[in-house]
Amino acid sequence: MMRLNSVRYLFLAAGALGLAFITYQHGATLLTFFYQRFPEGTSYANNPLPLAALCVLGAVLGLAGGNALFQVFERTFGAWERAHPGDKVNIFLSILFGVILTVPFMVLFTTLGAFTATLVSVAMMFLVSSVALYVIRQVEDVLPWSKNRGKGRRSEYKILDTNVIIDGRIYDIILTGFLDGQLYVPKFVLNELQYIADNSDGLKRQRGRRGLEVLRQLQAKVTLEIGTHDRLASEGSDGVDGRLVRLARALGADLVTNDHNLNRVASLQEVVVLNINDLALAVKPMVLPGEPLELTISREGSHPGQGVGYLDDGTMVVVENAARALGHDVSVVVTQVHQTERGKMIFAELPDDGIDDESAQRRRAR
């Protein structure tokens, strides 16, 4: 990003200074032509103030022109950077072939005059290069640098979204080494975190600050790249989520999130999504029907007689006939395991002797 900003300043400076210099060189002639239509126009034409004003106008127009040229350069540079290495080789070879084939004809073109010869040579080089590129693309499947490269270009980048940073679990996952590649945080995600951290709502402000703290801890442990490729997905009307998907597609990156809606949108656009909620579900212990469990009945269920307890990993267990054991440690038997988008729900039943002896004694004593 810093490199592109420097290039922008060069374009702006070159445009302003270049057009100001041209205006200075030819401004006197232009002013003379303009003022000679008026009485005493010669004295105005020789006055340095109109010339200075004309130079300032030229500098302003040069700034606008330099900025426009930079935007063209940025789009071209971005397209070149996103291109597959095989495409870059094809373009290079096509231009080289066009130059080699055009050089012998340049001697013949000199008889047409310098300007015409240059124009015809450039046109011929462009035409030959275009034909060469078309021919190379027709046979690129057999070329060693393009063969079997596939349509889905993947890079090593893993893009973190706002929700997964605020969640905080990504820190421990990264430290375990299960998430490889270059971690990337877009600048617009960082801006969204800062906006949340400055929110007037206390809960949102706390979430935003926690996300910023997670990023600070990650930077201290791993290499974290921030905002260097955001130009590949310029700001649009599709919001942060849409911009994340466009950036992932442009980089060929994987998107790390725990947002279910973003997961679905990205998957529809053929972006690889690493959902840490799916990871959490995958590493939960497997529970099978008929297996005994030990847990505490913490509250009553939604149906009469039901009790609800939780495993150590937070999985909810709905136990039939367990309302009588509220607040007690019980032994239950799994009857059914139901998988949902939010996780697993386990259904169990409490045998008549499912309450441990100590709890039963306390209950009898009452």
**What does the pLDDT profile of the chain (366 residues) look like in tens digits?**
445 567 777 777 888 888 888 877 777 677 666 666 655 555 555 567 777 777 888 888 888 888 888 777 777 776 666 666 777 788 888 888 888 888 888 777 777 777 787 888 888 888 888 888 888 877 766 667 665 454 445 678 899 999 999 988 898 889 888 888 889 999 999 999 999 999 888 888 999 999 999 999 999 888 888 888 887 787 777 788 889 998 888 888 899 999 888 888 888 888 889 998 888 877 777 788 888 888 899 988 888 889 999 887 778 899 998 888 888 889 899 998 877 666 678 899 888 765 654 444 444 444
Which residues sit opposite 184 in a β-bridge?
159, 225
Whole-number pLDDT of residue 151: 46
- Antiparallel, parallel or unpaired: β 273-275 and 254-257: parallel
Whole-number pLDDT of residue 79: 67
| DSSP-derived secondary structure letter, 159 | E
* Domains 157-282 and 292-365 fall in the same CATH topology: no
Q: Coil, strand or helix: which one is 315?
A: coil
Whole-model pTM: value is 0.51
**May I ask the CATH class of domain 157-282?**
alpha beta
- Antiparallel, parallel or unpaired: β 307-310 and 292-300: antiparallel
Give per-residue pLDDT as tens, 241-295: 889 998 888 888 899 999 888 888 888 888 889 998 888 877 777 788 888 888 8
Task: Single out the residue of 186, 171, 180, 194 nearest to residue 244, CA to CA.
Answer: 186
Per-domain residue ranges for the chain?
2-138, 157-282, 292-365
| DSSP-derived secondary structure letter, 157 | E
Q: Report the C-alpha gap between 207 and 323 in whole angstroms.
A: 36
- Antiparallel, parallel or unpaired: β 157-160 and 254-257: parallel
**CATH classification for the domain delimited by 292-365, as one of 2.40.50, 1.10.490, 1.10.10, 3.40.50:** 2.40.50
Q: Report the C-alpha gap between 280 and 36 in whole angstroms.
A: 83
